[in-house]
Amino acid sequence: MTKKLDDPIDLHMQDGVPARFRWRNRIFTVQRIVMYWIDVEPWWHHDYEHDVTWHIWRVEVRCLAQCLTLDVAYRDSLLSGNAFPWRIVRIFD
Amino acid sequence: MFTHLNTVSYYSFRYGVASPSALAQKATELAMPGVALVDQDGLSGAVEFFQACSMYGVKAHIGVNLPLVTHNKTSRFIALARDSSGFKALNRLITAHHEVGLTFDVLETIANLLSVDTGLVILLGPESQLAECIFQGQYNVANQVISRWQKTGFDVRPEIVSHRTEYVANQRTSLYSTYFARQYFRWSIDCSLQPVLSNAVRYLGTKQARTADVLDATRNLTTLSRSNVSKRNQEACLYSETHMQKLAVEITGDTTTAQKLLMHTHQLAASLEVTSDTLGIGKVFLPELSVIMNSSAHTFDTRWDSSPAKPLTLKQQESETHKANQLLRDRCLRSYSQYQQTEESNSRLDAELDVIFGLGFSTYFLTVATIVDSIKAKGIRVAARGSGAGSFVNYLLGISVLDPLQYGLLMERFLSPLRNSLPDIDIDVESHRRLEIYDDISERFGSQRVAAVAMFDTYRVRQAIRDVGRALGIPAGEIGVFAKAFPRIRARSIRDALEEFPELRSSNVAKLAQTGQLNRMLDLVEGLDGLPRHIALHPCGVLISDASFIDRIALQTSNQGFPLSQYGKEDVETLGLLKLDVLGIRMQSAMSYAIDEVQRTQAQAIALDAIDFADSETFELIQSTRTLGCFQIESPGQRELIGKFAPDTFNDIIIDISLFRPGPVKSDMITPFLEGRHGWKEIQYLHPRLKGILRETSGVVVFHEQVIRILSEMTSCSFAEADLKRRQFGDSDQIRSLRAWFYSSGLKNRFDLDVIDRVWDILVSFASFGFCKAHAAAFAIPTYQSAWLKHHFPAAFYAGVLTHDPGMYPKRAIVHDARLHGVPVLPVDINKSASDYRVEAHLQSWAVRIGFSDIKNISEDEVDSIVSQQPFRSLYDFYQRTYVSFTQVEALISLGAFDSLHTHVTRRDLLLHLHEITKQPTDNLFVFEPDIEPSGLAEFTLSEKLQIEIETLGIDMSAHILELYRETLGRLPITYAQDLLSCRSGQEVLVVGIKVSTQTPPMRSGKRVIFVTLDDATGPIDITFFTDMQDAYAQTIFSSSLLLAKGVIRRTGPRGISLRGTGCWDLQDVSGDNLSVVSLAHHKSALSAG
């Protein structure tokens, strides 16, 4: 089962891929990158002149003894400037 | 060193976005060694791509993306040519795809036929059957597929692609995920295959990605939504090497393996060698002499699997050329023996043959002559057009009917020893029989050697608006209105058009656009600009080649069933193919029809190509400017010019046609010509030695031929050289050296410096708009012939023009012109009408009878069923014996088609009667014809009749439509067309009429004027509305058909008149109560003007 969510996180990258992040006051370390993909929001649904692009990583992470698979993502668009508002968008149980 | 091996252009119709040249340019900017073009199903972009790559200095790789059918499933593969055997195979593959569809068997047949082997490289990407197997986890099947491919002998490579889409099991978009790419890559390595990396490029960069989405929606005829758009992101770009390296690491998982993948890709690209020689650029491929001379017909069912041609040895080629030269000379001499020979004609013939032999083009002339002979043998009218009329050989071969020596036409303008390109001979034929000629050519030369030239239907503004509108989900009705508001212009001009065109500036669309609400729509419309939508049959070009044709040109079949080359007009010239332009000309059909009608009704045969070209009565007609329906001289502007010019020889018509073109009109060459012509001013010749050259045009330089002669006279160069120099005038890079040459040679030939100065200035300004006299002369023939027919056989002429509709005017305008010309036009009659317009004896003269086929919504079958059952005794008889729908019978009754059968009752009675007949039981054999009793219902009024006629026929048969407004018009001070000539310049007049045409050409300032032509039953009236009047009246001019207009007269010559519009109203608005508005307005301005 998967659960969709939209929680902001504070993520740190290393060599161009997610390495660790803080979520709900806990630190998670990325163990393995499962896959990476890019998704562009359907532009015909919004009025922006520019496209809204999501970069999404499916990662296996560990916090203490707990292991999880989840999708972390950031939105790349002119609207958000250069700041990376990372978030967790999906959790696999 | 990365090379993109999978790149498509917009010749992957409604899929790709970039032009072939743009892809080449972008690859250069990215410093790539080469780039491949692999469009879907064809090579239409290949020549443009190859030439652009050569220009930019990147290597061009040529291939194609094709469907393959295996076990009733279709997948796709890419075939790339490695060498010329591979390129031949590509052409066969494409032809086979369009003829029979591709299977492994077909692939193997082609491989064996051409001994291709590794000359063809196969890429199996995400759309291939192989990738599909891996995706489904069917590894056994995958192994079978790969061994089946390897059996063909081609060099087979898995193509690894990632568009970084999400991987979801069983979802097809996952085929483009990095996750799957890695899976596919690893399997390939395990199988010891050599996979290559590509990006399946669809557009240059993300900016074009939205256009790709719109194309997806358009292709699927749906609105934009995730399920209809094939992509999830915008990754199908022509990415840089750095990006592709990064992608390789992402896919393979580590740098070392990534390097290996990149190296395989590079090595494969480096092994591909397609040269201009492979494509056939710079060579000439004419049909074999044996095929030309052999009159027996060829037939071939298929083209893709016929055996390849054996090339001729050098010795065989020489003997062929020698034979061809001999044959051409013989043919020329045969007709030359009938010619009034002179010293000049002797040397002209020798000179022309020398040039033709020198270029090795005898076969070309023999081919064209053979085709023209065969068209004539079928009784189809044919005439040469263009510079070909300047060749004496063409005249002797019967290709052209005009003796070039008589009119001072030069061969060098057409064919020159200094230009090694195939000349262009264009022939005009009857438009409705053009495809018949295609079939004939195809049969004669064999369908392996013949194909039509392709043409690409590209996005222009209206279609772009429709497709964008549908993609965005705007209702069809709304978008239709929006699209139709635009004139037929380029899609990229949509924003300019909203500001520039008078008919749009005042529209609601323009107002909405100003608010910015239409920005997305307008952006998308601009994005579609110029994208080809599909391939179609070019309206005139036919290719004729030799047996190697099918190995050089990919063929498909047009909608009309004719073999079609995938290349456009320019490309086939680059590829050295003989292209014969067979233009369908409606006027030729109209004249042919007229001749047949004269033969049918008066048993008189007219040899139109042998008529006297100095018939004074024909020139009287032309001078009268009553030339509606005549070829080239019927437009308002031309009528004004011939009114001022008064041509009285055939040569004058040639001059008239050359003068009436934008250049000469704009630079006002016409005024000095007319002043000299009418003796108003003394003619100033540039130099006594140039007098002979310029006499025919009163000292004004009009023709290319005159430029050639002037250059030759002043510099002592040959005509051929002079023509080359003439062509350089338009080139700003060459103008300096040209000037130095002209001045020094001119001085050497003892011309004064001031003469050289003056001539140079004229030549420089003339270069942009001179006209080829041979071309004008070819046009002048049907112009004169149509005028001759209009004068001598007016009824037949009108019947022809009305049946084939060759001109710019609506049929109702031609009908009224016929009446003004004394030819009665008779209404539709159930017994006397035919399908088309027919000549009919009427009151000791000839009239035109309107036919059935112009009745709205009538079908060909219905017309056939009427004509085949004629004559009828009564409406009942008609109803019993024909298969005409109830509504069409009603239409026929309402049009009065039965009036002559039932004289004692009204059309209303007949309609009532029709209802009774249809109520009769149909199963009773003993039904008697019921009588028709007058019911007392009144006949239709004139107004009702006219309304019906306009609605169902488009022609006001019973009377001119203005008759309906007779009473209103009687109360207004109207000036009619016939009286305009007696008005003085500056006088303000009120005119009225039904709108015949509107045009909005740009002026020198870039602003547009509106030209309106009205017809008021006494003749045409031409009015010009300038910018200052457009805001107030444009809306009315474009939306109404019956117009009342006010204007100021300007006299331009004895028969020349023009009106500057100062007001315009819809006649229907001003009739009745508010009549006073116009008359008051008119009255007031008349007062102030006085």
Q: Which domain holds residue B733?
A: 607-781
pLDDT of residue B574: 87
Contacts of A35 in chain B (CB under 8 A): 166-167, 177-179
Residues in a beta bridge with B842: B845
Residue type for position B569: K
Rounded to a whole number of angstroms, the CA Rg of chain A reads 14
Q: Could you tell me if residue B997 is inside a domain? A: yes
Judge whether A36 is closer than 8 Å to chain B, CB to CB.
Answer: yes
Interface mutation target, options B161, B165, B166, chain A, most CBs of A under 10 Å: B166
Select the more confidently predicted residue: B2 or B683.
B2
**Among B47, B34, B110, CA closest to B79:** B110
Task: Verify whether the Cβ–Cβ distance A37 to B164 is below 8 Å.
Answer: yes
**Residue showing tokens 């094939």:** B230
Mean pLDDT score, B1062-1068: 89
- Burial of B741-780, coded b for 16+ CB within 10 Å and e otherwise, reads bbbebbeeeebeeebbeebbeebeebbebbbbbbbbbbbb
Judge whether B164 is closer than 8 Å to chain A, CB to CB.
Answer: yes
What is the nearest CA distance from A79 to chain B, expressed in angstroms?
17
DSSP B184: H
Alpha helix (H) residue ranges in A21-89: none
Report whether pLDDT(B930) > 80: no
Do B628 and B813 touch, CB atoms closer than 8 A?
A: yes
DSSP B167: P
Report whether pLDDT(B1076) > 70: no
CATH classification at residue B99:
3.20.20.140
Task: Verify whether the Cβ–Cβ distance A39 to B209 is below 8 Å.
Answer: no
CB pairs A-B closer than 8 Å: 45
B25's CB contacts (< 8 A; 6+ apart) are: B52, B56
Task: Verify whether the Cβ–Cβ distance B209 to A51 is below 8 Å.
Answer: yes
Interface mutation target, options A15, A34, A37, chain B, most CBs of B under 10 Å: A37
Report whether pLDDT(B600) > 60: yes
What is the 3-class SS of B277-288, one letter each residue? HHHCCCCCECCC
Residue type for position B151: K
CATH classification at residue B1003:
2.40.50.140
Q: Could you tell me if residue B816 is inside a domain? A: yes
Do B195 and B95 belong together in one domain?
Answer: yes
Report whether pLDDT(B1088) > 50: no
Mean pLDDT score, B434-453: 88
Phi, psi (degrees; rounded to nearest 5) at B712 = -65, -45
- Burial of B34-63, coded b for 16+ CB within 10 Å and e otherwise, reads bbbbbbbbbbbbbbbbbbbbeebebbbbbb
Q: Could you tell me if residue B593 is inside a domain? A: no
For B233, the closest of A36, A39, A44 (CB atoms) is A39
pLDDT of residue B1082: 42
User: How many Å apart are CA B1032 and CA B1081, to the nearest integer?
Assistant: 14
Do B362 and B321 touch, CB atoms closer than 8 A?
A: yes
User: DSSP assignment of B772-805, as one string?
Assistant: -HHHHHHHHHHHHHHHHHHHHSHHHHHHHHHHH-
Residue B782, Cβ neighbours under 10 Å: how many? 23
Task: Verify whether the Cβ–Cβ distance B472 to A53 is below 8 Å.
Answer: no
Do B834 and B776 belong together in one domain?
Answer: no
- Read off the pLDDT of residues A77-91 as tens digits, 9 standing for 90 and up: 654 555 567 899 999
Q: Could you tell me if residue B691 is inside a domain? A: yes
Q: Which of residues 364-383 of B touch A (CB under 8 A)?
A: none
User: What Cα–Cα distance (Å) separates residue B814 from each residue in B62, B292, B820, B953?
Assistant: 54, 44, 10, 14
Do B418 and B511 belong together in one domain?
Answer: no
Final residue of a structural domain among B952, B980, B1004:
B952
Contacts of B517 in chain A (CB under 8 A): none
Do B431 and B355 belong together in one domain?
Answer: yes
Q: Could you tell me if residue B789 is inside a domain? A: no
Q: Could you tell me if residue B941 is inside a domain? A: yes
Judge whether A5 is closer than 8 Å to chain B, CB to CB.
Answer: no
Interface mutation target, options A15, A32, A44, A78, chain B, most CBs of B under 10 Å: A44
Instruction: Look up residue B777 and give its two tokens.
Output: 């002369």
Final residue of a structural domain among B919, B952, B985:
B952
Nearest CA in chain A to B162: A37
Contacts of B177 in chain A (CB under 8 A): 35, 37
User: DSSP assignment of B347-367, as one string?
Assistant: HHHHHHHHHHHHHT-HHHHHH
Judge whether A48 is closer than 8 Å to chain B, CB to CB.
Answer: no
Q: Could you tell me if residue B212 is inside a domain? A: yes
Peptide bond into B794 cis (omega under 30): no
- Read off the pLDDT of residues B529-571 as tens digits, 9 standing for 90 and up: 999 999 998 888 899 998 889 899 999 988 878 889 999 988 9
pLDDT of residue B309: 79
Contacts of A73 in chain B (CB under 8 A): none
Report whether pLDDT(B1085) > 50: no
Do B659 and B673 touch, CB atoms closer than 8 A?
A: yes
Mean pLDDT is lowest, of B5-9, B564-568, B633-637, for B633-637
User: How many Å apart are CA B847 and CA B672, to the nearest integer?
Assistant: 43
Instruction: Look up residue B502 and give its two tokens.
Output: 């008078």
Residue B474, phi-psi category: left (phi > 0), alpha (psi -120 to 50), beta (remainder): beta
Instruction: Look up residue B314 and give its two tokens.
Output: 């050098």
Select the more confidently predicted residue: B793 or B1077.
B793
User: How many Å apart are CA B893 and CA B940, to the nearest integer?
Assistant: 11
Judge whether A43 is closer than 8 Å to chain B, CB to CB.
Answer: yes
Select the more confidently predicted residue: B841 or B485.
B841
Task: Verify whether the Cβ–Cβ distance A42 to B167 is below 8 Å.
Answer: no
Judge whether A37 is closer than 8 Å to chain B, CB to CB.
Answer: yes
Residue B588, phi-psi category: left (phi > 0), alpha (psi -120 to 50), beta (remainder): alpha
Instruction: Look up residue B883 and give its two tokens.
Output: 């298969």
Mean pLDDT is lowest, of B294-298, B458-462, B864-868, B959-963, for B294-298
Report whether pLDDT(B1089) > 50: no
Contacts of A92 in chain B (CB under 8 A): none
Do B480 and B524 belong together in one domain?
Answer: yes
Judge whether A17 is closer than 8 Å to chain B, CB to CB.
Answer: no
- Read off the pLDDT of residues B1016-1028 as tens digits, 9 standing for 90 and up: 888 888 899 998 8
- Read off the pLDDT of residues A29-72 as tens digits, 9 standing for 90 and up: 999 999 999 999 888 887 777 788 899 999 999 988 888 999 99
Q: Could you tell me if residue B759 is inside a domain? A: yes
Task: Verify whether the Cβ–Cβ distance A39 to B166 is below 8 Å.
Answer: yes
Residue type for position B792: H
Q: What is the dihedral of CA B533, B538, B543, B549, to 10 degrees?
A: 20
Do B553 and B44 touch, CB atoms closer than 8 A?
A: no
Do B974 and B948 belong together in one domain?
Answer: no
Report whether pLDDT(B1079) > 60: no
CA torsion sign for B965, B971, B977, B979 is positive
pLDDT of residue B298: 60
Instruction: Look up residue B876 and give its two tokens.
Output: 């009942």
Do B44 and B137 belong together in one domain?
Answer: yes
What ipTM is given for this predicted complex? 0.93
Task: Verify whether the Cβ–Cβ distance B178 to A36 is below 8 Å.
Answer: yes
User: What Cα–Cα distance (Å) separates residue B997 from each residue in B504, B587, B992?
Assistant: 17, 20, 14
Contacts of B167 in chain A (CB under 8 A): 35, 37
Q: How confident is the model at residue B229 (pLDDT cuts 50, 70, 90)?
A: confident
Nearest CA in chain B to A54: B233
For B235, the closest of A35, A38, A44 (CB atoms) is A38
- Read off the pLDDT of residues B52-61 as tens digits, 9 standing for 90 and up: 999 999 999 9
Report whether pLDDT(B333) > 70: yes
Q: Which of residues 482-541 of B touch A (CB under 8 A)?
A: 520
DSSP B938: P
Judge whether B178 is closer than 8 Å to chain A, CB to CB.
Answer: yes
B1084's CB contacts (< 8 A; 6+ apart) are: none
- Read off the pLDDT of residues B718-765 as tens digits, 9 standing for 90 and up: 999 999 999 888 788 888 999 999 999 999 999 999 999 999 988 888
Element (H, E) at B1005: none
Domain count, chain B: 6
DSSP B14: T
Do B913 and B1014 belong together in one domain?
Answer: no
pLDDT of residue B923: 62
Q: Is the pTM of this model over 0.80?
A: yes
User: How many Å apart are CA B884 and CA B862, to the nearest integer?
Assistant: 5
Do B873 and B901 touch, CB atoms closer than 8 A?
A: yes
Report whether pLDDT(B920) > 90: no
Highest mean pLDDT out of A6-20, B176-190, B810-824, B916-930: B176-190
Task: Verify whether the Cβ–Cβ distance A42 to B226 is below 8 Å.
Answer: yes
Do B72 and B100 belong together in one domain?
Answer: yes
DSSP B908: H
**Among B773, B717, B704, B781, CA closest to B746:** B717
**Average of per-residue pLDDT values in chain B:** 90
What is the nearest CA distance from B525 to chain A, expressed in angstroms?
15
Interface mutation target, options B206, B233, B517, chain A, most CBs of A under 10 Å: B233
Report whether pLDDT(B1087) > 60: no
For A53, the closest of B178, B213, B233 (CB atoms) is B233
Contacts of B206 in chain A (CB under 8 A): 51
For B224, the closest of A39, A44, A56 (CB atoms) is A44
Give long-range contacts, CB 8 A cutoff, 24+ apart: B180-185.
B180/B126, B180/B131, B180/B134, B180/B135, B181/B251, B182/B251, B182/B252, B182/B253, B183/B134, B183/B135, B184/B126, B184/B131, B184/B134, B184/B135, B184/B158, B184/B160, B185/B158, B185/B160, B185/B251, B185/B252, B185/B261
CATH classification at residue B508:
1.10.10
Mean pLDDT score, B960-982: 87
Contacts of A39 in chain B (CB under 8 A): 165-166, 232-233
Residue A16, phi-psi category: left (phi > 0), alpha (psi -120 to 50), beta (remainder): left
Beta strand segments in B930-1056, E: 988-999, 1010-1015, 1020-1025, 1042-1051
Judge whether A39 is closer than 8 Å to chain B, CB to CB.
Answer: yes
Do B830 and B891 belong together in one domain?
Answer: yes
Final residue of a structural domain among B952, B987, B1020:
B952
What is the nearest CA distance from B249 to chain A, expressed in angstroms?
12
Task: Verify whether the Cβ–Cβ distance A37 to B225 is below 8 Å.
Answer: no
Nearest CA in chain A to B226: A42
Judge whether B186 is closer than 8 Å to chain A, CB to CB.
Answer: no
What is the nearest CA distance from B179 to chain A, expressed in angstroms?
6
User: How many Å apart are CA B166 and CA B650, to the nearest integer?
Assistant: 75
- Read off the pLDDT of residues B343-385 as tens digits, 9 standing for 90 and up: 999 999 999 999 999 988 999 999 999 999 999 999 999 988 8
Do B776 and B817 belong together in one domain?
Answer: no
Contacts of A40 in chain B (CB under 8 A): 209, 232-234
Phi, psi (degrees; rounded to nearest 5) at B242 = -55, -45
Do B812 and B874 touch, CB atoms closer than 8 A?
A: no
Judge whether A92 is closer than 8 Å to chain B, CB to CB.
Answer: no
Do B109 and B75 belong together in one domain?
Answer: yes
Task: Verify whether the Cβ–Cβ distance A35 to B167 is below 8 Å.
Answer: yes
pLDDT of residue B297: 58
pLDDT of residue B149: 95
Instruction: Look up residue B864 and give its two tokens.
Output: 């056939």
Mean pLDDT score, B412-441: 87
User: How many Å apart are CA A45 and CA B598, to the nearest integer?
Assistant: 67
**Residue showing tokens 């993109």:** B4
